[in-house]
Amino acid sequence: MEKISALIPILLEHSQRFSDFWNFHIIVSLGVLGFVLANEGIASKLRVRLLLTVTFFLIAVYSVFSLSIHQQRQVKLWDALEARIATSPVEFIPEEVDYIDSLKPTDFGIKIGALLTADLLVVLAVWFIPKMKD
């Protein structure tokens, strides 16, 4: 276990990136929703809606690109950990193997799906909340 104990914090650091992006999305989304709800007149203008939509599209592109890089690194590191365990399984007690298995990276589709769904919900709110108030 000592041989791989230095790799575990790196793997956890890569997993933390999704939480970082998710927190960023939550803050920006709440800010935009607050703006739309507080400024119905301004938010109902086509230019403002288009600007917010383009902004969320750019955030989505950046998030997909950045998370894909971290996901690739995380999967490679995970594969290395699995290979290390497979080559010397007697060095690990079952609890250590269970812990390491719990570190398996979440599927990239699930991560991106969550972020893009959040973006889509905010964009829909930008386009439909001001119309509902009219």
Q: What is the pTM of this model?
A: 0.72
On the 0-12 / 13-18 / 19+ scale of CB atoms within 10 A, 11 is buried
Any domain includes 12: yes
Residues 6+ apart with CB under 8 A from 131: 44
At 101-121, the pLDDT tens digits run: 888 888 999 988 988 888 888
- How many residues does the structure list for the chain? 134
Residues 6+ apart with CB under 8 A from 26: 118
- Count structural domains, the chain: 1
Range of the domain at 87: 7-133
pLDDT at 1 (0 to 100): 58
Any domain includes 87: yes
Any domain includes 1: no
pLDDT at 131 (0 to 100): 66
Q: Using DSSP, state whether 86 is helix, strand or coil.
A: helix
Any domain includes 48: yes
In 22-117 the beta strands, taken as DSSP E runs, fall at none
Any domain includes 74: yes
pLDDT at 73 over 80: yes
Q: ∠ CA(67), CA(113), CA(128), 5° rounding?
A: 120
Type of residue at 120: L
pLDDT at 109 (0 to 100): 92
Residues 6+ apart with CB under 8 A from 1: 91, 92, 96
